[in-house]
Structure 1
Amino acid sequence: PIDWGSLAGTMHFCMTVLTTIGYGHISPSSEAGRMFCVVYGFFGVPLTIAFVSLLGEVMKGVHDRATVAALRRVSRWGPDNTRRAIGAIFIGLGSLLFIFIPAVVFSVGEGWSYVDSLYYTFITLSTIGFGDFVTGRQRGVQYHHAYQGFKGFWLYSGLAFVALIFFAMTQSVNEAGKRMEKRMETR
């Protein structure tokens, strides 16, 4: 159960609602709490989506500027190979920052194995949110505010990164489908 008297518990509930992850382990228990949740979610979810989209645009801008700068410097590779290399570096660094390093933090902070923490980071950032692993649930453990702040920063930034990657993957699949369609039409 959530500790409504703690800042950490309340923040965790708020982030769970706003990100629509819904781990399934906490919910409002009173009618007043449910009505608050409806109003809070009604206004908060669209604002969170806008905020995460903005973060994604900032990340895409960094990626695009890095690609342009690299294309100027590494012209011998050719534009396609340079774009692929920059994309791979972007995905690698982002995965390190939002998946692999946070998994170490959660492994230490929650006492989970690294594999379980890695699983948690992906399940959370992909918004699958099964609820089998949820941070901040160890009885008797007082979580530091810096840890809670890290989780909030990680969650919103990581959601933007994963959404950007999923969007890019979807675009690539759609473009490949269009190319295949054109090839089929010319036969």
Structure 2
Amino acid sequence: MMTSDGPGWKRMVVLFVLVVVYLCVGAAIFSHIEGDPEIERRLQLEAFLKNFIGNHSCLDHEDLIGVLREVNQEFTFALNTLRNRTVYTQWDFTGAFSFVVTVVTTIGYGNLAPRTYPGKVALVVYALIGIPITLIMLNYLGQLLTRLSTRVNKCRLCSTKPLVNKVLNMVLIVMLGLTILFILPASAFSYFEDWTVLEALYYCFVTLSTIGFGDYIAAMSENSLGTRGLEDVYRVVTYVWILFGLAYLSLLINYISNVFIKKAEEMERLTKEKLEAEVSRLQQELSKTGKSVYKTAANVKSSVKGKVWEAPSNGIDQETGSVTLLRIAQLDES
């Protein structure tokens, strides 16, 4: 059981081993799934580059490498420049707002980062203050969602069967949360960002779980809103959704964690009870055996009363050749 001092070392070691095994299994799974496709993509890219260089023999290799290096640093800007599109700074107010949201929520997409030394120093100070404040706010927001779910849980969808009613309320809470914070936003992202529904759902989970790979970023890539003002509104709404979604998913993950903890404690309790029962049974068997030995010893003592133990003068029987260790002689009662 959990104590006020926290989990013991044994439980911590078991949990650490479990996490390491889980990580190793995950590494093996993703290595198997993603390894061959990556090699295939790189072979295709290699063939494309060789074909491109072959068709443009006038290009110098070093110059091409320099162009690719520069484009890699500002890919979106380079792409829009080649398409003759107007490029706005990423560090305007709405762009900076999206950046600080990813900082204080620890999502960290990686698409936008300070390049100057003052910016990097400011980021460290800003994050040290902003992350705790945001966590406190998300904790309060999670408590509000918990109260809301408690009220929903009191609904009587099936008043005749309390267990069925509890299950239905839990399903209702989960479905409401998934619909409002996953399905509807994923549909919007799929429309505005030109993603598939699966890609949009993937983005929702990666973002709200603060994994934040940065391979998909809503409200930052080119979208179909057209005007700058609508894009700003879209971006702000997106990050408000992130704040509520973080609280909900954190609440859901905490619930799953508590279920695992309770199951582990229940298994530990059952194992402890079985061991205690087995030890009690063994103690009873030993007690019975001890009583039996004591009773046998008492019978032996009673049967040899009036007799004396003496060592034989000659330990070897001449007739049988057997060895006699002790000889019992009847004592004279008189």
Tell me, yes or no, if the aligned pair for 1:126 and 1:159 is still in contact at 8 Å: yes
1:110-125 matches, cutoff 5 A: 110-125=193-208
What secondary structure, in the 3-state scheme, does the structure 2 residue paired with 1:70 have? coil
TM-score by length of 2: 0.52
Tell me, yes or no, if the aligned pair for 1:3 and 1:10 is still in contact at 8 Å: no
What secondary structure, in the 3-state scheme, does the structure 1 residue paired with 2:129 have? helix
- The aligned residue for residue 52 of structure 1 is 138
Corresponding residue to 1:106 among 165, 168, 189: 189
Aligned-partner Cα distance in 2 for 1:145–1:46: 27
1:59-74 matches, cutoff 5 A: 59-67=145-153, 69-70=154-155, 74=158
- The CA RMSD over aligned residues, in Å, is 2.1
- The aligned residue for residue 213 of structure 2 is 130
* TM-superposed deviation, 1:139: 8.2
C-alpha deviations, 1:46-95, integer Å up to 9, x for none?
1111111111100001111222x326x744222x4433322221111101
Corresponding residue to 1:13 among 99, 102, 119: 99
The yes-or-no answer on 1:163 pairing with 2:250 is: yes
Tell me, yes or no, if the aligned pair for 2:94 and 2:235 is still in contact at 8 Å: yes
Aligned-partner Cα distance in 1 for 2:223–2:166: 48
C-alpha deviations, 1:157-179, integer Å up to 9, x for none?
00000000000000011111112
Q: Which has the higher contact order (CA 8 A, sep 6+)?
A: 1
* TM-superposed deviation, 1:24: 1.7
Bigger Rg, structure 1 or 2: 2
Q: One-letter code of the match for 2:194?
A: G
The yes-or-no answer on 1:29 pairing with 2:112 is: no
* TM-superposed deviation, 1:149: 2.3
TM-score by length of 1: 0.89
Higher helix share: 1
The count of residues paired between Structure 1 and Structure 2 equals 184
Matched residues, percent identical? 28
* TM-superposed deviation, 1:5: 4.4
What secondary structure, in the 3-state scheme, does the structure 1 residue paired with 2:160 have? helix
* TM-superposed deviation, 1:107: 1.1
Tell me, yes or no, if the aligned pair for 1:52 and 1:156 is still in contact at 8 Å: yes
Aligned-partner Cα distance in 2 for 1:139–1:36: 31
* TM-superposed deviation, 1:180: 1.6
Runs (4+) of structure 1 exceeding 4 A deviation are none
The yes-or-no answer on 1:173 pairing with 2:260 is: yes
